[in-house]
Structures are given as structure tokens and as C-alpha cells.
Amino acid sequence: MYYIVNINKKRNRTKVSKEKEGVIIKAIIFSRWFEPTDELKNFCKSIGYNTNDYSFDFNLMFDQRVVRFCESKLSNLWNEQVYKGRKSDKFRIGFAGAGYIRNIDTTKKWRLKYNKVDAPIIDYVEVWCNEYGYLIVKPI
């Protein structure tokens, strides 16, 4: 952690403020269409998760036990290593969505965007509300 020190010479005071240091956490981001394999479902149940919505369960996605489990079973897809979802004929690729390993700075505000093949992109943003309550989101 580092500090920024401002010295006000007129009043002979020193003001010290803490700057947040970036905290990068590895997470597995499941795509919107992800359907878990039985193996992943059983593993998640064994560590206390009982969810059907893997793409919005952020506790599960940031749990390092789940990340390590999925990392040990990665496959190639579009020049990227992914955790494949359940086999399915509904999807052109032969399985229902994927989990993507991403490093995320949790000290910043971020949102998920998706590229043309539904792979998640971490988009760091500034967020504020104007005097009328309108929400403004600006990419950094």
C-alpha cells in the first residue's frame, strides 16, 4: 500500500490519504448460456453451493476452489482455454456455454461485456448519478 502526502504550507499541516492498491483476483466467468456438467454440479454441491444460475452467482465464480477445479479441466476454444459446459445439440459448438478464466481488479468498478463469440470481457468503468437520478456509466 502506498500513501499520498499533501503538505499545506500556509497552515503547516500534513494531510495523509491512503490510495487503494489493486487487488487482482482470478475468477471463472460463466457465459450467459452456460449449463454445468454433472461433474461441476457435484463438485459445487460438495463445497456448499446449490445454484442453478452459474452465470450470475459471483460467490461461486470468485471461489478459488471452483476456479482451480475448472482450470484443471480446460479445453481449447477459439484460441482460448475454457471450461466447457454440458454437451448439447442446441448449440453449434456442441456444448452449452463455457467458463472463462479472467483476472479482475476488485478495487475498481467493472461490468461484463461480451464479444462476438459470447466470451466475457471485463470492462472497468466509472459510475455516478446526476442530480436527476440518471445513472452514468463511463468506460475508463
How buried is 76 (Cβ within 10 angstroms: 0-12 exposed, 13-18 middle, 19+ buried)?
A: exposed
pTM: 0.77
| Residues 99 and 34: beta-carbon distance below 8 Å | yes
How confident is the model at residue 21, as a pLDDT? 67
Residues lower than pLDDT 50 in the chain:
1-19
How confident is the model at residue 91, as a pLDDT? 66
Question: Phi and psi of 82, rounded to 5°?
Answer: -135, 160
How confident is the model at residue 112, as a pLDDT? 93
How confident is the model at residue 7, as a pLDDT? 43
How confident is the model at residue 137, as a pLDDT? 94
